[in-house]
């Protein structure tokens, strides 16, 4: 295995050292809802199979006139409103479903939300993209290159999954989420206290969309070795989440909110069990939106915050896993904020 890992140094109790602080949270979902029954009418599948094996009941999909960039702009704008700000110094966009291969979408998002001119770039880490983008934005803040960064994650997987493939078509939904990060200290609520990131490119084919050279003929759809990915997801999210919990000197039963990438309710439960996270801390919002790839963590955070499941100061652990393979985790205390939601 060719695994590469970056782990932050062990931290003591929260103090006045630098930290990136979460200051706003916004989301955008397409209005069109696709229930499990819709697939059961078209494919050899059933509502029972999808609910039992994934936890998904329904998901949202974009209509042909809505782009990934439209979703990203709406979520970014909502996050700015949640933070009570009109400007930021930089924008990082996590996506693996760009509307076009070149250029990156982030400069367009920055321009369309009235922030033209700021540094803006995309991060491609599949379902780990939001955590990778959070870490990247924290680096910009730490290096003094920005005092505030908009971290946006937006996906339109409905455009890359084969509608005739029951093993992937039922899993994914479209959506976007965004947070505003600002320079602050580790003592503040909302402070990001630890990160862990990793990858294993030797397993790159477990989740992939073939390129033109790999597959010159025919349509190039998303494929996933479901069972293999399931096992690797449990293994890496458990180890990665444990790493940030240890860096913060927290115990698993201190965790107030555990928000794993929302790919499969059984994976989330298996990781939480292995870590020893209390069941009431586990956030699982997959039933309403399916797997929205990089957007899944901010969408789940907004649902949990609106549902009163995230208290200011709660010790919160985010963990993600996706194609690459990639994985990553972050630990933070939950800030005082009200999410702003939008639909398109």
Which positions touch ligand ACO (CB under 6 A)?
45, 49-50, 53-54, 126-127, 166-167, 170, 207, 226-227, 229-230, 233, 263-264, 267, 291, 293, 321-323
Q: In terms of CB distance, is 203 or 310 closer to ligand ACO?
A: 203
| Minimal distance, residue 18 CB to ligand ACO, in Å | 31
d(CA 85, CA 13): 30
The CB-side HSE value for 311 (13 A sphere, CA atoms) comes to 7
Burial category of 219 from C-beta neighbours within 10 Å (exposed 0-12, middle 13-18, buried 19 and up): exposed
Q: At closest approach, how far in Å is the CB of 144 from ligand ACO?
A: 33
Say whether 28 is catalytic: no
In this complex, which beta carbon is closest to ligand ACO, that of residue 222 or of residue 334?
222
Distance, CA of 232 to CA of 28 (rounded, Å): 30
CB atoms within 10 A of CB 209: 15
Distance CA 315, CA 333 (A): 5
The number of residues making up the chain comes to 344
Residue 261 a catalytic site member: yes
CB of 252 to ligand ACO, least distance (A): 21
Q: Say if residues 291 and 172 touch (Cβ distance below 8 Å).
A: yes
309, 283 contact by CB (below 8 A): yes
237/279 Cα distance (integer angstroms): 17
Residues paired with residue 191 on neighbouring β-strands, in sequence order? 21
Which residue, 59 or 166, has its beta carbon nearer to ligand ACO?
166
CB of 116 to ligand ACO, least distance (A): 31
Closest CA to 22 of 176, 178, 172, 157: 178
**Could you give the dihedral angle defined by the CA atoms of residues 229, 69, 337 and 185, in that order, rounded to the nearest 10 degrees?**
80
- For the bound state, the minimum distance from the C-beta of residue 158 to ligand ACO, rounded and expressed in Å, comes to 13
Cis peptide before 325 (omega within 30 of 0): yes
Least gap, CB of 72 to ligand ACO (angstroms): 17
Active-site residue among 28, 36, 73, 261?
Answer: 261
The DSSP bridge partners found for residue 341 are: 27
Is residue 36 part of the annotated active site? The answer reads no
CB-nearer residue toward ligand ACO: 109 or 293: 293
Closer residue to ligand ACO (CB): 50 or 191: 50
- Give the whole-angstrom CA distance, residue 132 versus residue 134: 5
- Our CB check for ligand ACO shows the closer of 168 and 314 to be 168
Choice among 28, 36, 73, 127 that is catalytic: 127
**What count of other Cβ atoms lies within 10 Å of the Cβ of residue 114?**
10
Least distance in Å: CB of 165 to ligand ACO?
Answer: 9
| Residue with smaller CB distance to ligand ACO, 291 or 333 | 291
H helices present in the chain, as ranges: 36-42, 47-54, 68-83, 106-112, 129-142, 166-169, 226-247, 265-275, 286-289, 296-306
Catalytic residues: 127, 261, 291
């Amino acid at each position: 295995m060719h695994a590469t890992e970056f782990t932050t140094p062990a931290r003591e109790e929260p103090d006045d050292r630098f930290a990136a602080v979460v200051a706003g949270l916004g989301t955008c979902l397409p209005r069109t809802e696709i229930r499990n029954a819709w697939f059961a009418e078209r494919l050899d599948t059933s509502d029972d199979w999808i609910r039992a094996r994934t936890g998904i009941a329904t998901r949202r999909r974009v209509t042909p006139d809505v782009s990934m960039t439209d979703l990203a702009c709406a979520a970014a704008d909502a996050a700015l409103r949640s933070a009570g700000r009109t400007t930021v110094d930089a924008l990082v966009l996590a996506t693996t479903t760009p509307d076009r291969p070149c250029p990156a979408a982030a400069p367009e998002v920055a321009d369309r939300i009235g922030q033209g001119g700021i540094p803006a770039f995309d991060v491609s880490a599949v379902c780990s993209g939001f955590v990778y983008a959070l870490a990247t934005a924290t680096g910009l803040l730490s290096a003094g290159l920005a005092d505030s960064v908009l971290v946006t994650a937006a996906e339109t997987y409905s455009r890359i999954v084969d509608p005739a493939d029951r093993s992937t078509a039922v899993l994914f939904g479209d959506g976007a989420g965004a947070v505003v990060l600002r320079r602050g200290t580790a003592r503040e609520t909302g402070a990001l206290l630890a990160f862990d990131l990793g990858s294993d490119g030797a397993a790159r084919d477990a989740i992939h969309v073939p390129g033109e050279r790999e597959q010159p003929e025919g349509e190039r759809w998303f494929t996933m070795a479901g069972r293999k990915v399931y096992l690797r997801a449990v293994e890496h999210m458990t180890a990665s989440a444990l790493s940030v919990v240890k860096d913060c000197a927290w115990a698993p039963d201190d965790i107030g909110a555990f928000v794993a990438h929302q790919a499969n309710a059984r994976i989330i439960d298996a990781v939480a069990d292995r870590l020893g996270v209390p069941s009431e801390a586990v956030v699982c919002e997959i039933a309403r939106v399916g797997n929205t790839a990089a957007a899944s963590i901010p969408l789940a955070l907004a649902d949990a915050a609106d549902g009163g499941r995230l208290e200011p100061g709660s010790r919160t652990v985010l963990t993600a896993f996706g194609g690459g393979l990639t994985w990553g985790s972050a630990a933070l205390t939950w800030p005082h904020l009200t999410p702003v939601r939008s639909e398109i």
